[in-house]
Amino acid sequence: MDSWQQSLARSLTDPAAVAARFGLDDAAAALVASRYPVRLTPQLLTLIGAADDPVGRQFLPAPGELAPDALPDDPLDEGRLAPSPAIIHRYPSRVLLLAGNGCAAYCRFCTRKRRVGCAAYHLSFTALLDGIAYIAEHPAVNEVILSGGDPLLLEDAVLQEVLGRLRRIPHVGVLRIATRTPAVLPERITPALAGLLGRHAPLYLTTHFNHPRELAPAAAEACARLAGAGVPLANQTVLLRGVNDDADTLAALCDALLRLRVRPYYLHQLDPVHGTGHFRVPIEQGLELIAALRRRVSGLAVPHYIVDLPGGRGKVALTPASVVSLGEVAVIRSAAGELVTVPNAGR
């Protein structure tokens, strides 16, 4: 067993142990974890100081996850866009290849929280190969984004097999991997893995850091190792209440990322997923935060503020041109010119 696998095996997954360590209500934590699993890696256990701190809020089970709301389990309609279990095909020229269903740690705001870590959505290697066959049969696809779950929980040999098969498809030009491991399981970014990824260029890796505290020395070393192997890095941040919904935090995060050779790429408006209402930030506030960032950090450090429109209508940059009106619901103009309503948090 590799060191990163040993570290993963030492993760805290028992809700009673999590509740005892962080002063949570035992019964409430167990109830939430029975629906949405919890896993805290050794890295996270060093970062979380309290249940309500910016890292704890992201990973500890909270009663708000089971609060009644009108939000859907699948806001992006991914089920409709899945021609096979391992494929989500929303845009003609690119697809998501779901490389697994597990994560090193489970974000409480995840857009796929209905399925990650859930045995009913287990993805076999056969399903993964079927997904690759689907890509080979669709010549319009020129970019493949490995997502999940976390693709970097695959062992090196399996990951090499998957990337090699994709690279042998003539019409696939660009590969992208979306991963949380540099933040929550930095041990996974070994020299061997960095070299493997570097050999499959053009391959881009998208990290997920939401708060400066996550950029601990081990995470910074992981990013440096990837960048040193020639892997271009970009970061996606989710705008979250009580985590990063202030200009000081976002500026510190984006500036630190840029220093680590990680380009701040997206600031996501939180997808309207069932059980995430306690994380939502109004779009009005998000627009103000982006304006503040432009005044405070390098242009290279300002991410695109985007929303993924409900029903699988795609991503749209949130700008004065695309935001038609704001209130309890926001009206957003899609790339196709369609007016789409999006749930919006109140002030």
Instruction: Give the pLDDT confidence of 217-230 residue by residue, as tens digits.
Output: 999 999 999 999 99
What confidence score (pLDDT) does residue 335 get? 81
pLDDT > 90 fraction of the chain, expressed in percent and rounded: 88
**pLDDT category of residue 346 using cuts at 50, 70 and 90:** low
Check whether 326 has a pLDDT greater than 90.
no
What confidence score (pLDDT) does residue 70 get? 84
| Lowest pLDDT segment from 167-171, 186-190, 235-239, 334-338 | 334-338
Query: Residue 46: CB partners within 8 Å, gap ≥ 6?
Result: 216
pLDDT tens digits, 32-48? 999 999 999 999 999 99
**Hey, what CATH topology would domain 3-343 get?**
TIM Barrel (3.20.20)
| pLDDT mean over 75-100 | 95
The catalytic residues are 90-91, 94, 103, 107, 110, 112, 271, 308, 315
| pLDDT mean over 159-165 | 98
What confidence score (pLDDT) does residue 347 get? 45
**pLDDT category of residue 58 using cuts at 50, 70 and 90:** very high
| pLDDT mean over 294-318 | 93
Between CA 130 and CA 255, with CA 8 as vertex, the angle to 5 degrees is: 90
| pLDDT mean over 80-102 | 96
**pLDDT category of residue 320 using cuts at 50, 70 and 90:** confident
pLDDT tens digits, 98-154? 999 999 999 999 999 999 988 888 899 999 999 999 999 999 999 999 999 999 999
pLDDT tens digits, 164-216? 999 999 999 999 999 999 999 999 999 999 999 999 999 999 999 999 999 99
